[in-house]
Structure 1
C-alpha cells in the first residue's frame, strides 16, 4: 500500500483512508487503530507496528492526528526503518528505553522521568535545562520522536 501514496495523493483519498481506521469516529487514529492498519493491512509484525506507532505520534498524544497521518503518507518514507535491519534494531531499542522511562505510560517522558533516566545513566547536569533542550516543541513533555532525535542513534530523514 505504501507505494500508492506520495506527495500528489489527493486529500480525498487520504481522508477516506483515515476515516476507515478511525473506527471510533474520534477524529484521531488511536494506537490500536493504527496497529490494525500496520499489521492487518500492511503486513508489519507487531514489533514493527509498535515502532511506527511511536514514530508517527509526533506530539506524544497517543493518537495520530489527520495531519500526522497525512504527513506520513505523503512523505514517501516507504517503511525505510523496518526495511533496514540495523536501523530497525536501533529504533526498537530506543522504543524499549523510552517505554522504560515513561513510568506513567503517558506516551511522553516528563521532566521528572527524564531526570530519572539521566540519574540512572550517571549524569549530574542541570536536568531542567537538558529537558528544555530536548522538548523542541516546548509542550513540557518529550514525545518519542524528540527522544529519538536526542539519542541520535539513527538519522530520521
Structure 2
C-alpha cells in the first residue's frame, strides 16, 4: 500500500522543492530514473507501481515529467487510489504492457503504423485513420499512453454496454 500522507493542500513551494530535490540534472523535468527515486524513496511505491505511474503522469508522452504534471497528479483525487485498488492496478498494468508492446520504437507514443499493427493483430476491422484521429486527442500525430488508456476504457465500456 502506497503512503498516502501527502496532503493535496500542500503549498506549491513544497511540491516544487520536492521536485527540485529529485531533478538531479536540473533539466526542469524528471526523467524515469528521477521520478522513480521520488516515488519509491519519498512516497513508498514499488518499481512496478512507478512504471505505471510514469506512463500515467507523462500526459504529453515526452518521456519526462514536468512540475505541472507532478503537481496535477499530487493534487488530484487519484493520487494513490489506483495502486491501492488491486484489480484496477492490474488492468492498468496490462494496458502499460500492451502499450509498450506496440510502441515498437520505444518513443513513448503509438504511431499510425504501430496502431495499424495493433488493430490488425487484434482482428479489429475498423478504419485505422478514423481510429487514430479519435485517439489522438491533442492532434499531435501520435498517441500518448493516457490517450491509449482512454481508448481502451471506451472499448471495454462499449463492449459491456453492447
TM over 0.5: yes
In structure 2, distance between residues paired with 1:51 and 1:102: 15
Verify the 8 A CA contact 1:56 1:72 in the aligned structure 2: yes
Q: Structure 1: any 5+ residue segments left out of the alignment? A: none
Alignment of 1:57-96 (within 5 A): 57-96=58-97
Please give the TM-score of this superposition, normalised by the length of structure 1: 0.92
The residue that corresponds to 1:126 in the other structure is: 127
Farther-moved stretch of structure 1 (133-142 vs 34-43): 34-43
In structure 2, distance between residues paired with 1:2 and 1:15: 19
In structure 2, distance between residues paired with 1:141 and 1:56: 17
CA deviation after TM superposition for structure 1 residue 4, in Å:
2.7
In structure 1, distance between residues paired with 2:77 and 2:19: 17
Verify the 8 A CA contact 2:73 2:79 in the aligned structure 1: no
Please give the TM-score of this superposition, normalised by the length of structure 2: 0.89
Alignment of 1:1-157 (within 5 A): 2-6=4-8, 8-152=9-153
How big is each residue's C-alpha offset from its partner over 1:8-52, in whole Å with a ceiling of 9 and x where there is no partner? 321211111111111110011111111111122222111111111
CA deviation after TM superposition for structure 1 residue 124, in Å:
3.1
- CA RMSD of the aligned region, Å? 1.5
CA deviation after TM superposition for structure 1 residue 3, in Å:
2.6
CA deviation after TM superposition for structure 1 residue 2, in Å:
4.0
Give runs of ≥4 in structure 1 deviating > 2 Å. Answer: 1-5
In structure 1, distance between residues paired with 2:4 and 2:23: 18
How big is each residue's C-alpha offset from its partner over 1:121-142, in whole Å with a ceiling of 9 and x where there is no partner? 1123221111010011111111
Using CA pairs under 8 Å that are at least 6 residues apart, name the structure with larger relative contact order, 1 or 2.
1
- Work out the number of aligned pairs and report it: 153
Verify the 8 A CA contact 1:3 1:78 in the aligned structure 2: no
